[in-house]
Structures are given as C-alpha cells and as structure tokens.
Structure 1
Amino acid sequence: MTTPSTSSEALARVTTPGGPRHATTWWVTSAAAAAVAWVASVIGLADVDGIYGRETASFIDQAIAQDVVNVAIAAPATLLLAWLAWRGSMRAGLLWTGVLTFTAYNYAIYTMSIHVGPLFLAWVAVLGLTFWSLVGGLRALRPTVVAADLAPAPRRVVGWYLVVVAAVFTLLWLSDVVPAMIEGRIPAGALDLALPSNPVHVLDLAIFLPAVIAIGRLVLLRRPAGLMLAPAAVVFLVMTGLPILVTPFVTAARGGGPQWAVMGPVGVITAVGVGVLVALLRRR
C-alpha cells in the first residue's frame, strides 16, 4: 500500500518537468545564459554610447529599457525559477519556460538588429543557450501530468486572453506594415530604428503571435498541450509589456519626447495578463 508521504514524493517526481535526470542540463544552461545576459546588460547600461552609440535615439531608449528589465527581472527570474524547478516545483518550471521564451525573443532582436560590437558574441551565446534550454525544457514536460494539475484553471479566460491579445497585436502591426507596402515606403516602426524592417513585426507575425493564438485555441479545445504551453505564452505576453512600459521613462530621462500614450493600453494588457497567470497557476 502507498503511504501519503510516498505518494507525495512520487507526485513531486512526476510533476517536475521531466524529472531531475532529464531537465537538469537545461536548468544549468539557462542559468549560464542568465548570468551572461545579466553581465552584458550591466555593461550595456554602464556604457550606452560604446554599445548602442550607432543606433537611433529611439532604438537606444528601447535597448536601455530592455537592459533594465534584463537586469532587474528576466535574468534573476531565470536563475530563481531554474533553482525552484530543480527542487521539484512544476509551476516554477512552467514559468521558467515563459521567461526563456521572452529572453530568446529579445536576444534574436539584439543579435540581428544592433550593430556588431563588443557584446555581440555574448548576445549570440545568450540566444543559443536560451533557445536550446527552452527546447529541452519543453521536451521534458509531460502534457497530461501538467494538464491534470492545472485542470481547475479557467480555460475560457486563459484561452480567450491569448487569442484576443495576439489578434490585437497582429492587427496593430499590420496597420503599420500594410499601408507602407502599398505606398512603397518603410513602416514607421522600422523607420524609427533606421532598419529596413522592424524585427518585432517579423518575429511576431511569423512566429510568436501565431503560436500564441494556436496555444489559446488548444486551451479552449481542452487539449493537454494547451495547458502545458499556456503559462509560457502568458508569461511571454506579460514580460513583453515591461520594456514597453519602461521605455517612456528612459526617453524622458534622456531628454526626449516620451510616448506616454502607450502606458495605458499596454499597462492594462500586462495587468490583465498577471491576473490570468495567477488564475492559471493558482493551487485549489
């Protein structure tokens, strides 16, 4: 007969993403990526002109905001969540996949949009370590176990949040891209960065927003994979809003004209996302 204590221990082993034997490598590599990212972002903040001096003022403001979020939230969260996941927390492991998604997304932009400079190989290392940690971590997850543990979650709220927010951003980006295509000009989002196209538009429209919509649909269809991936998608959307919210303050501090108007809608989406995440992961 199984005693309550042995049953709890077995559940802890099962609900840990893949178990220590399968996921430890990815927790370690993600921790290494977080350490490199933290140091690189500190250097970027300490020497803005040396690292970002060849970019436009708008791009520099966004890069500073991203570095602030990396130093204060993303890198420490990666380290903490990897440690908690290693200790057996399934929810920490699910949140960890979301922070890795956010980090991989942003370092894809770092590596392909900012001029090559002293931190270029560090950014490449962060992108590579984070991406493969995410792939390995997702492969270690057991959809049916995660879905069973998160079964009481409000699926309709979670699913529709993902679908609606992704659809809103899709329409927003298309409202910049499509008129520019028709008129034969560079989209405003790319012009501000002095780039031929905006990497955020490319990554979002090609990969991330379709993925978020697909995950939301899986949640609504009550598929185990949907609940397994939903925390990562919600964390990604919430954390994506943080640099946007920090950027106006950076712009104001640097003597520019901040776009305070973005604070309202982005703040609402981010706050709602935090509420959805709490409802999704709350223990009943």
Structure 2
Amino acid sequence: MAAQTTSPAPSAHPPTPGGHRRAATWWAVSAAGAAVAFVASGIGLAAVDGIYGRETTAFIDQAIAQDLVNLVIAAPATLLLAWLAWRGSMRAGLLWTGVLTFTAYNYAIYTMSIHVGPRFLAWVAVLGLTFWSLVGGLRALRPTAVAAELAAAPRRVVGWYLVVVAAAFTLLWLSDVVPAMIEGRIPKGALELALPSNPVHVLDLAIFLPAVIAIGRLVLLRRPTGLMLAPAALVFLVMTGLPILVTPFVTAARGGEPAWAVMGPVGVITAVGVGVLVALLRRR
C-alpha cells in the first residue's frame, strides 16, 4: 500500500506567516477593546441610574439588555475567538469578524445616542479599537483561502437568508420612517428614545443592511469575497437579535410593560440564523 501524505487543513494554519503576524496585531487590539467593554458594561449594570439616568425608560431597558449581552457574550467571545484565531483556527477568525461588527455597531449607537457621562471615553475607546481591529483583520484574510475552506457550504441557503432578512428589516424600518416623514412627526422608534431620529434606522438603512444584501448576493454569485464576509454578516444578524430578546425580560424586571410580541419573529430569525451559520462553517 502506497504511503499517503496529508497536508494541514487551511483552518489549522494561517495562510501566510506575514498574514498571521498582521492579523495577530489586530487580535491583540480587539482583546484590549473587549477588556474595556467588559469593565464598562459591568459598571453600567452596577450603576444604572448614574450612567443612564438621563435617558428614557425604554432606552434604559435597551441599554441594560445591551450591557448584559456585552458582558456575558460579546466581550468573552471576542477574547476567546481572538485566542483561537491566533492558535490557527480560520473559522474562529471568521466568527471574530462578526462579533467585532456587532460590537462596533452598538458602540457607535452608545457614543452618538447616550448623554456624555463617566463612561463616554470608554465607549469611544471600544468603538475605535473594535473598528480598526475589524478593518485590519479583514485585510489580513485571503478570500480564496476562505472560499476553499468553505467550498462545500450551502451557498443558496446562506445567500438567500442574508438577502431576505436584510430586506425584511429594511421594509420594517421604512414602515416607521416614511409615514413619519410624510406626516411631519418623529418616528415611533426615535420618539420612545427621546431622540430626533433612531440611530438603528440610520446605521441599518445607510450601511449595515445594504452591506448584508450585497454580501448575500456575492455568496449567490459564488464570489470568494462573499464567503469570506458571510460569517461576519450572519454573526452580526444573530447577535443583533440577542439584546432584542433580552429587553422584554429587563422591562418586566423593572416593572414595565414588556413587548413580548417581538420574541416570536426575532427568536425565529435568530434561531434560523444560528442554523445557517452552523451549516456555513460545519466541516464536511
């Protein structure tokens, strides 16, 4: 029987030593951002009135839910995935880009929506460290290597999930914004936060939802860049659902009237997103 030689899977080793060194810098920077976020979120939960006392009740509930997700999931996941990526896991590196996307998105909202207070510069630091880590980490990836590693992924399932979910949220946000524009009033999503406009609407409609649709289309067209970016888009959508699912429980604990109705549709979208993400990254 002839001797067989095996080569390591792409996920076992980084594509190039230089690429690994460049990425390692950003893994370390993101770990610093995660540490700051972990401490800042802990302080926010320990001193809710001192940090969020000037916001509306609805805003406070959402901020508490976000801090819980940051403290329990996002910050620890960033640290763990950065370490696994440094150890050579391509899949961990791809998941890491998604957690950073979620973190940068939410800290952009923190910095531009919540009154300046004792944690403001910490929020700015997390936003900066996370954003530049994401940019540097994506630049260190090689689309062809990622596409080869995920060659057996169910592209149609992944691509259509991204396109359909992003399109659905686009229509949902427009259903609040467009009538408000026509009637000359503040959109409901902004009114309950006492803001002139809802930052979620702005970031989603201008940047994130078009990006998710574009990534889904690239996946359907079998472009390597689409597969490289798809994990980040999926993780972003899944993690975005978590604070929404936690908020009704926070509202109930604080004596308010929870919006339990959101649990069903958001729960389904989030659960299906987890399944699609597993299918995308599963080894075959």
The Cα of 1:19 is off from its aligned counterpart by: 3.7
Give aligned-pair identity as a percent: 88
Q: Does 1:214 align with 2:219?
A: no
Instruction: Answer yes or no: is 1:270 the counterpart of 2:264.
Output: no
Partner of 2:82: 82
Partner of 2:280: 280
The residue type paired with residue 165 of structure 1 is V
Question: What amino acid sits opposite 2:74 in the alignment?
Answer: A
How far the C-alpha of 1:15 sits from its partner, in A, is 4.3
Equivalent AA in structure 2 for residue 113 of structure 1: S
TM-score with structure 2 length normalisation? 0.97
Deviation at 1:21, TM superposition (A): 1.2
User: Does the CA contact (< 8 Å) of 2:20 and 2:140 recur in 1?
Assistant: no
Alignment of 1:1-284 (within 5 A): 4=5, 7-8=7-8, 12-15=12-15, 19-284=19-284
Q: CA deviation at 1:218?
A: 0.1
Name stretches of at least 5 consecutive residues in structure 2 with no aligned partner: none
Change (3 A) 1:36 1:120: same
Distance 1:209 1:18 in 2: 33
Paired residue secondary structure (2:8) = helix
Deviation at 1:9, TM superposition (A): 7.8
Unaligned runs of at least 5 residues, structure 1: none
Q: Distance in 1 between matches of 2:73 and 2:11?
A: 30
CA distance in 2 between partners of 1:17 and 1:135 (Å) = 19
Amino acid of the residue matched to residue 173 of structure 2? W
Quote the Cα distance in structure 1 between the aligned partners of 2:234 and 2:58: 27
Using the TM superposition, give the Cα deviation of residue 22 of structure 1 relative to its aligned residue in structure 2, in angstroms: 1.5
Contact 1:15 1:90 in 2 (8 A): no
Is this contact kept in 1: 2:14–2:20, CA < 8 A?
A: no
Deviation of 1:16 after TM superposition, in Å, equals 7.7
- Give the direction of change, closer, same or farther, for the CA distance of 1:10–1:224 in structure 2 (3 Å limit): closer
Change in 2 beyond 3 A, CA 1:149/1:128: same
Residue identity in the other structure for 1:46: A
Query: Aligned in 2, Cα 1:22/1:133: closer, same or farther, shift over 3 Å?
Result: same
TM-score (normalised: structure 1): 0.97
Spell out, residue by residue over 1:170-203, the C-alpha distance to the aligned partner (whole angstroms, 9 max, x if none). 0000000000000000000000000000000000
Give the aligned residue type for 2:169.
Answer: F
